[in-house]
Amino acid sequence: AQSVTQLGSHVSVSEGALVLLRCNYSSSVPPYLFWYVQYPNQGLQLLLKYTSAATLVKGINGFEAEFKKSETSFHLTKPSAHMRDAAEYFCAVSEGADGLTFGKGTHLIIQP
């Protein structure tokens, strides 16, 4: 069975600082991995996806993530945080036909 663990329910960084949101997964087959962002009172917006083409994946809004099979990780990073990045971030895994399995989410707080 697939599962996702996001370390840190809340992460606070200063504007301009590096953003690092951690995600570890468990999957019995090569997984598809995703990061979604959710702004208040909105649905989920896809940031980026890993589908085995490349281990470093670039997404929207300056975010990227690196797939590390040996560590079963898919951490999300952004070199310089902006106030508009404040939101809830979800890591998700899919093994194909099944629905997405989400982590509990990480609330990103940007300090001015």
Partner 1 sequence: KAGVTQTPRYLIKTRGQQVTLSCSPISGHRSVSWYQQTPGQGLQFLFEYFSETQRNKGNFPGRFSGRQFSNSRSEMNVSTLELGDSALYLCASKETGQNIQYFGAGTRLSVL
Which residues contact partner 1 (rule: CB under 8 A)? 32, 34, 36, 41-46, 49, 51, 90, 92, 94, 96-105
CB of 25 to partner 1, least distance (A): 15
Nearer to partner 1, 25 or 90 (CB): 90
Q: How far is 108 from 85, CA to CA, in rounded Å?
A: 7
Q: Which positions ≥6 away from 98 have C-beta within 8 Å?
A: 2
Q: Which helix or strand (DSSP H or E) is residue 57 part of?
A: strand 56-58
Distance of alpha carbon 55 from its chain centroid, rounded? 14
Q: Which is nearer to partner 1, 17 or 107 (CB)?
A: 107
Least CB distance to partner 1 at residue 66 (A): 19
CB of 42 to partner 1, least distance (A): 6
CB 34 within 8 A of CB 22: no
| Identity of the residue, 47 or 81, whose beta carbon is nearer to partner 1 in the bound complex | 47
